[in-house]
Amino acid sequence: MAVGRKPMAVIPTSSTLKRPAEAGSNFLPLLEFGLRRCVALDTNILVAVSGGADSVALLRGLLQLREPLNLTLRAAHLNHQLRGADADRDADWVAALCQRFEIPCDVEVAPIRELAKQTRRGLEETAREARYDFLQASAIRHGCNIVTVAHTADDQAETVLHHILRGTGLTGLRGMEWSRDLGDSLQLIRPMLAIRRAEVEAFLAEFGQDYRQDATNQDVSLTRNRLRHELLPSLEQDFNPRVREHLCQLAEQAAGCDEATRIAVDTLLDASLLDQSEQVVRLRRDVLAKVSRPLTREVFVRLWQRVNWPRQSMAFAHWDRLVNFVQADQPTEIDLPGRVSVRRRANMIVLKCCGLTQPSINRGKQPLDDVDRRRDE
């Protein structure tokens, strides 16, 4: 049965909310804090349940907060068919758990290996996109306006550290966002980003609640698992026992700075934009030449995001080269990765992308987070 849509309540912004005192002692106050920060009250929520500890704790916590926060709940589980019979047993287990608590649950199957071969992409990327497509479709079908996933503070720390190690900017330092737009008036939220994994396990132990375990989460040949099981414990033992906490604090600070930068960058890009199509963009050089190098650099990053041009091969040096092109009179043309050419015509900067021979798989969608390296969400 489809769930009717409810209006979202207006509550104080996240900056006015206070994290519960003695945060490590109580899972539910922290979850409520996260829901309020994400403005998830008086609403219909689709809960992504893999069967792992985090997502099971999220579901059990939401069940307890359902009445006081006036929430309507529905669950969803996608079987990726990557772990054979274990994946099938996970799906059956989640369905049984939801039936026990009388929570409607959508369970679907996606042939991830076949899809990855067809699109010539990695299994993780394919699985992640299929999962979010499934969650979005399920939420829209049943009238839910929020999708919630169970990433924790530990996941946030791992994400920020991973970004630092491979090289990142301010946006990468912010890690995962507490909430973001999925389109179609739908929000993805992560209300557990202030909750440590130990708090999750303690909460489940209070009820004697079991959960599924994915053996691949212990495979240290995977970068994400090495960070979790080897590098972070080593940093805690040899350098700073509060390293996870500090990485999460860094993410909070970076998010605030990044948000302010985004507003300034969007304003500047709009002021400099003459016109754009899928393959050609024309900008006013004089507007961009008046501002600082970092801001001009971020304008071009934002432009690539808006028009969805390929950024995989664009390094810092390429973005910086664009700033030089704006500020200097020579050369009058440059070429960039992704078959992007940049030309100067009087006061105009003309950018053309010739690499879009076919529509991008994600064209028109919000970009997926570069996180979620484990199955449990």
**pLDDT tens digits, 236-275:** 999 999 999 999 999 999 999 999 999 999 999 999 999 9
Q: Note the pLDDT tens digit of each residue in 198-235.
A: 999 999 999 899 999 988 888 888 888 999 999 999 99
**In angstroms, how far is CA 121 from the centroid of its own chain?**
19
CB neighbours of residue 274 within 10 Å? 13
Residue 129 CA to residue 135 CA, distance in Å, equals 10
pLDDT at 21 over 50: no
| pLDDT band at 20; cut points 50, 70, 90 | low
User: 47-61: per-residue pLDDT in tens?
Assistant: 999 999 999 999 999
Predicted confidence at residue 217, as pLDDT, reads 84
Contacts of 129 (CB under 8 A, 6+ apart): 361, 362, 368
The CATH number fitting domain 277-353, selected from 3.40.190.10, 3.40.50.970, 3.90.79.10, 3.30.465.60: 3.30.465.60
Confidence of residue 142 (pLDDT cuts 50, 70, 90): very high
Domain(s) labelled CATH 3.30.465.60 in the chain stretch across 277-353
What pLDDT score does 171 carry? Answer: 86
Q: What 3-state DSSP class applies to 220?
A: coil
Q: State mean pLDDT over 141-149.
A: 97
Confidence of residue 6 (pLDDT cuts 50, 70, 90): very low
pLDDT tier, 25 (very low <50, low <70, confident <90, very high otherwise): low
Question: What is the pLDDT of the chain when averaged over all its residues?
Answer: 88
Q: Which amino acid is at 27?
A: F
Residues of the chain with CATH 3.40.50.620: 20-152+175-217
The pLDDT of residue 372: 43
Query: Mean pLDDT over residues 114-140, rounded?
Result: 91
Q: Please return the burial class of 131, using the count of CB atoms within 10 Å of its CB with bins 0-12, 13-18 and 19+.
A: buried
What is the reported pLDDT for 74?
Answer: 98
Residue 78 has pLDDT above 80, yes or no: yes
Band of pLDDT at residue 16, cut at 50, 70 and 90: very low
Residue bearing the bigger pLDDT, 70 or 312: 70
Class for the domain spanning 20-152+175-217 = alpha beta
